[in-house]
Amino acid sequence: MTTVTSRDVQEIVSKLSSDKAKAREEGIKLLNTWLEGERSINFCKFLSQKTAMIKPDQIPGSETWPFLISLLIDCTCKEISASKKRVPKLMYAKALRIVIQRAEDAKGNALPLVTVAKPLLNHIWDVLKDVPTFHSEYGIILRHRYTSPIRYGCSLISYRSSEGLVLLYMEKVGANLGEKQSSHSNLKEEGFRCILTLHSLLENPPGDFPENIREDVAKGFVGFFASMREEGKISRKLIECLNTYLLEDGPNLGYQSLEIHDSLQQFVSHFWLTTHDRALKDALILYAKLQLNLCRGNEVGGPLIEQLLVVVSSDLDQCSVPSITSSRSDTAKDERFGTGSHHDLLELAALVFYRVAPLQLALMQIFLYACASMNKLTLAEKRARKENAATYLREGLARGKSSWHATFCYLCHNYGTRLAKDLFIYWFDGICSCFGRYLFVYLSVYR
């Protein structure tokens, strides 16, 4: 295996520091030879050892990762400046991307790279807004820096750069989704990579999202979901992006969160019950929880709650709670299909049921979905059923549907102190009648 010396590194540094474009290009090519194959192992180890020796407040030496990254940033800027009438050579962006990906020691321990973090991220923004050919390579750099265990300097990026990057990738994702030929695999893959980068940016803001971009981000999400008609990894990742944004900035959105839901409600209604993508279902459940919490006390959130009431109730009718007496193979199957997700659904159902105000009316309406037939009813029949909803709830519990009983348990556990005692007595009487019926059948069979 080739041994690396200071002379080897200095040769690269000398060429990259040259004022001549040809010499800098030779330096990039020489650097690439050291970053390929077995030679890269010792080369990266050499730079990592030198970098680890940097003391606090010490300027990095020429044989360290921070110095090499700064040098490549400077080379890239010179290449862009010199290419006003031609496309900048992609080799510079590729070299910078590879170096940044390798700039970690073998054990994944953090190296003192903070000195170049802010200049790097601000440089990425300056390049991305003006050099489209570098978007792919620089997008990889962004994702790597934000998703790496060593997220050095992510909080040091300026607000201007952070705002610009978020809006830039919102625009890129929107343009990709709007392509008429979006079924083309290359376009889809490029769009997915843009969404990954956007997710990384939304997940790691330098602070609170600035108010001046909030409306643009909300409008961006509205546009995304208004044109989304199929499920898949793109729609799943977009909802994960939205969930991240709602977690980070949701309380500041106000009515805009419901505007986003207006564009998403058709997708939710269509794919909530039909999707076989567990990750998508989990993302939808989390989305529903976030929206419910955001519209707390908001009267205009009624349509959202009504829609969730319908889809959650239908979902509970279709599923069942895994039995504790299931065989090992059944348990493994339940785990594969997301038993944890099922618990999330039950918690969501309890929250939805509780949020329909007032609570007693909410319980009546909720269990009405489980107990009443789905045939069309006249207005008078619907009113009569609502007036006697407590009775229908009792009958629903008496039916013994496991998912509804489980939801009722979550409802009692999470919100039991806010339920009227007489309702408990009445509903548990229905549960007792269910138990009595099963006991009668059991005794009849095994007597």
Q: Give the pLDDT confidence of 389-443 residue by residue, as tens digits.
A: 345 456 667 777 788 788 888 878 888 887 677 777 877 887 888 777 767 665 6
Look at residue 320 in the predicted model and tell me its pLDDT: 59
Can you give the residue ranges of every domain in the chain?
1-145, 158-207+214-311, 341-373+382-447
Look at residue 388 in the predicted model and tell me its pLDDT: 40
Of residues 41 and 405, the one with the higher pLDDT is 41
Look at residue 400 in the predicted model and tell me its pLDDT: 77
The two three-digit tokens of residue 103, written as one number? 């700039």
Query: How sure is the predictor about 11, in pLDDT bands with cuts at 50, 70 and 90?
Result: very high
Write the burial class of residue 209 (CB in 10 Å: 0-12 exposed, 13-18 middle, 19+ buried). buried
Q: Give the pLDDT confidence of 191-246 residue by residue, as tens digits.
A: 899 999 999 999 888 777 878 888 999 999 999 998 888 889 999 999 999 999 99
Look at residue 367 in the predicted model and tell me its pLDDT: 53
Let me know how many helices (H) and strands (E) the chain has, helices first: 21, 0
Mean pLDDT of the chain: 80
CA distance 328 to 335: 11
Task: Specify whether the CB–CB gap between 410 and 349 falls below 8 A.
Answer: yes
Peptide linkage before 66 cis (omega within 30 of 0): no
pLDDT exceeds 90 at position 387:
no
Look at residue 196 in the predicted model and tell me its pLDDT: 93
pLDDT exceeds 80 at position 282:
yes
Task: Specify whether the CB–CB gap between 304 and 264 falls below 8 A.
Answer: no
Let me know the angle formed at the C-alpha of 306 by 303 and 309, rounded to the nearest 5 degrees: 150
Look at residue 178 in the predicted model and tell me its pLDDT: 77
Q: Give the pLDDT confidence of 332-382 residue by residue, as tens digits.
A: 444 433 456 789 999 998 888 777 644 444 445 455 555 554 454 455 444
Q: Give the pLDDT confidence of 68-104 residue by residue, as tens digits.
A: 999 999 999 999 999 888 899 999 999 999 998 888 6
CA atoms within 13 A on the CB side of 273: 16
- Average pLDDT, stretch 125-136? 89
Cα-based distances in Å from 157 to 9, 98, 119, 161, 418: 29, 21, 8, 7, 47
Look at residue 288 in the predicted model and tell me its pLDDT: 95
Task: Specify whether the CB–CB gap between 100 and 71 falls below 8 A.
Answer: no
CA distance 127 to 77: 8
Look at residue 107 in the predicted model and tell me its pLDDT: 57
pLDDT exceeds 50 at position 326:
no
Does pTM top 0.85 for this prediction? no
